[in-house]
Structure 1
Amino acid sequence: MSDAPSLEAEVLDRYRRIGTSTISDALDRLGLKGAVEGLSPLQPHSDIAGQAFTVSYLPAGPGGGTVGDFLDRLGPGSVVVIDNRGRTDCTVWGNIMTEVAKAQGVEGTVIDGVNRDLRESREVDYAIWSRRGHMRTGKDRVVLNATGVPVCLDRVRVDPGDVIRADANGVVVVPLARAMDVLAAAEEIEAKEDAILTAVRDGMPLGEARRKHGYHALQTRST
């Protein structure tokens, strides 16, 4: 993945059981920025949790460019996070990369930019989040700047090893150093929302159930 510490599989499994909406609320409670805007899943059922392997691209210079061969270093637990500066005129991911990543057990790919070969990626059920599909190659239009460095998804910073949780609602980024704090907050919020659902299903009025379990302050920043 990178030189960043690896989280135990059990921690990532716990993250996987909690949706991005709840994790976003936990980030709000802790005063952390992590909700990424503008990225959508290739397939609505895609659902991943893993640690970021970061990739940074820049516009190609006079010498041309390259999309990079970094995938050979990755495996289970990795999420490829590509910062292409939000460009939508050329792609940085296609079907060959999809097949390699899928074969190596990579969790998925998150792109601040666009990808191509959507049909092929759907056929092998590989998870991708991006701004949209496009067909134009990034070869000779972008150059691999670096891997394993801080990057951005929209306006959210992503450091190597950060937790990436993505589902039908979108993508959230959890700083690695706060991964356990955010997880604990998210699990607490989830438990209270489950209690509210149980109460209303048993006939309690919604307002009463929300007041009883503190619904309106679940995401309020803690002091």
Structure 2
Amino acid sequence: MLEAFRHVEVASVSDALEQIAGQRMYMTHRMQPIFPSKFAGFAITVLLKKAEGNNDPAALSGMLAAIDQGQAGSVYIMVVEDGANIAGMGGLMGTTMWARGFAGAVIDGGVRDVGHLRKIGFPVFALGMVPSTSVNHYRFAGANIPVVCDGVRVEAADIVVADNDGVVVVPRARAEQVLALAQEMDFKEHSMYPYIEKYKSIEEAVKKFGRL
């Protein structure tokens, strides 16, 4: 199923979810890739909570364990509480995810060491690039628990799809139904491009294919 999700447009997945579930399951325009990327994978969720002045050396160990226990094809979903200006991950964590075959990472917070992440080709979506650290400012608050990432609820093993249009979360229970409708939408839309080029009318194309 993941392979099929890797070949559909994220916009079609978003539209399919809205029709089937009546929900907005896409993240906002703030969630941006560090380089053009397309991936799909099963969510591993991690939550960090503020803990200013925390000197416990084990305060963040859980976020590292979640990586070391993750399987190939995973998408690391991290929520950093009020963390737009805090780097939730950087080159060391990203290199480990890359070495373990993760599909990508989505950080509701910042990211750093972007040059290295681009060099190894590990895709990350984040709220921005910042040089800061979570060490001594945050503590690990749980892994593979429900989180709200950039306004979207994510549970462990949900399917996360991302491309240059953004990030969408597909609840596992809806995955097959959403995939089938998204594939149908893709087929219609991709058929419309040559039709529009030939007849030079979007109105006629929408009337014929029923997709906008």
Identity %: 30
Q: CA RMSD in A?
A: 1.5
- Secondary structure of the residue aligned to 1:121 is helix
Match of 1:130 among 126, 141, 159: 126
| CA-CA distance at 1:203 after TM superposition | 2.8
Structure 1: which 5+ runs fail to align? 1-10, 217-223
Q: Deviations over 1:175-216 (max 9, x none)?
A: 111011111110111111122223223336321111111125
The one-letter code sitting in structure 2 at the alignment partner of 1:26 is A
1:142 to 2:138 alignment:
yes
Distance (Å, rounded) in 2 between the aligned partners of 1:118 and 1:28? 33
Paired residues, what number? 205
1:33 to 2:29 alignment:
no
Query: Could you tell me which residue of structure 2 aligns to residue 219 of structure 1?
Result: none
The one-letter code sitting in structure 2 at the alignment partner of 1:158 is V
The one-letter code sitting in structure 2 at the alignment partner of 1:67 is L
Distance (Å, rounded) in 1 between the aligned partners of 2:19 and 2:157? 22
1:13 to 2:3 alignment:
yes
Q: Are the aligned partners of 1:64 and 1:143 in contact in 2 as well (CA < 8 Å)?
A: no
Query: Could you tell me which residue of structure 2 aligns to residue 6 of structure 1?
Result: none
| CA-CA distance at 1:64 after TM superposition | 3.6
1:67 to 2:60 alignment:
yes
- Secondary structure of the residue aligned to 1:149 is coil
- Secondary structure of the residue aligned to 2:183 is helix
Q: TM-score, normalised by structure 2?
A: 0.91
Counterparts of 1:49-64 in structure 2, within 5 Å, are 49-60=40-51, 63-64=54-55
Query: Could you tell me which residue of structure 1 aligns to residue 160 of structure 2?
Result: 164
Structure 2: which 5+ runs fail to align? none
The one-letter code sitting in structure 2 at the alignment partner of 1:14 is A
